[in-house]
Amino acid sequence: MGKVYVIGLGPGAEKEMTYQASTALEKSEVIIGYTVYTGLIRERFPDKKYLSTPMRQEVVRCEMAMDEAMKGRTVAMVCSGDAGIYGMAGLLYEMGQGYPEVELEVVPGITAANGGAAVLGAPLMHDFAVISLSDLLTPWEKIEKRIRGAAMADFVICLYNPSSRKRADYLKKACEYILEYQSPDTVCGYVRNIGREGEDAHILTLSELKDTEVDMFTTVYIGNSQTRNVDGKMVTPRGYRLEE
């Protein structure tokens, strides 16, 4: 039978794609993914068969991948960032139990947390938590509990999916929870369109972030109590002793 590569394309343009991901795409006959993601690679791999669906049809895309693999084809399921971080890898393994003949291989990619951190400086040098503010699959009550727990433990917090038209005030709510444990002057940052045209980054305080409008293409970073603004870069010290 066939094989499905589950591939993370990275956070932005072609330059963030790993060599391993590029090689797997070359080997694949069929490329499946969310319409926006397949559009990012069509020009580079024009001779492949493409299948895509709009958002919120993840199960359908996985069924497509398994059906193509059952025909003996090599398939690439593409995701942005890393396929194992808010991507399709877990769902494919769950569904793969019904397709024991199909081989699955996860190909890692650069997730938005890494890509945006590099733009801002070095905000993730110490322990950090990644939390999605999307409540489509996770109850908001659980998200709130996770935010409070991370803030209380003084983690650097990286927020995915911080806002949308239906969730315009979710970042504000998250900041309010964090302000119960962290100073209003806590150094924060956000990056929009990581690695893509129109990339835009800002460093600001937690109190300023609370009233900032962002979108689904933005990744937000909230520092811990040691995070500093170092010459315009967001830096969380690891704790090394600097010689005076």
For 81, which DSSP code? B
**Do 98 and 10 share a domain, yes or no?**
yes
| pLDDT bracket for residue 16 (50, 70, 90) | confident
**Do 94 and 125 share a domain, yes or no?**
no
The predicted model gives 211-235 an average pLDDT of 96
Q: How far is CA 220 from the centre of its chain?
A: 11
Which of 66, 94, 110 is the last residue in one of the domains?
110
CATH of the domain at 174: 3.30.950.10
Closest among 62, 34, 66 to 50, alpha carbons compared: 34
Kind of pairing between the strands at 156-160 and 218-222: antiparallel
Which of 110, 127, 157 is the last residue in one of the domains?
110
Residue 231: φ, ψ to 5°: 55, 45
244 located within any domain? no
In the chain, the number of structural domains is 2
**Do 46 and 139 share a domain, yes or no?**
no
Render pLDDT for 50-63 as a digit per residue (tens, 0 to 9). Answer: 999 988 899 999 99
**Do 55 and 27 share a domain, yes or no?**
yes
Residue 11 pLDDT more than 70?
yes
For 15, which DSSP code? G
Domain range for 215: 113-235
**Do 228 and 117 share a domain, yes or no?**
yes
**Do 120 and 11 share a domain, yes or no?**
no
Which of 73, 92, 110 is the last residue in one of the domains?
110
Contacts 24+ apart (CB under 8 A), 37-45: 37/9, 37/78, 37/79, 37/80, 38/78, 40/9, 40/13, 40/14, 41/9, 41/14, 41/78, 44/14
Render pLDDT for 121-150 as a digit per residue (tens, 0 to 9). Answer: 999 999 999 999 999 999 999 999 999 999
240 located within any domain? no
CATH of the domain at 92: 3.40.1010.10
118 located within any domain? yes
241 located within any domain? no
Residue 243 pLDDT more than 80?
no
pLDDT at residue 27, as a whole number: 97
**Do 117 and 229 share a domain, yes or no?**
yes
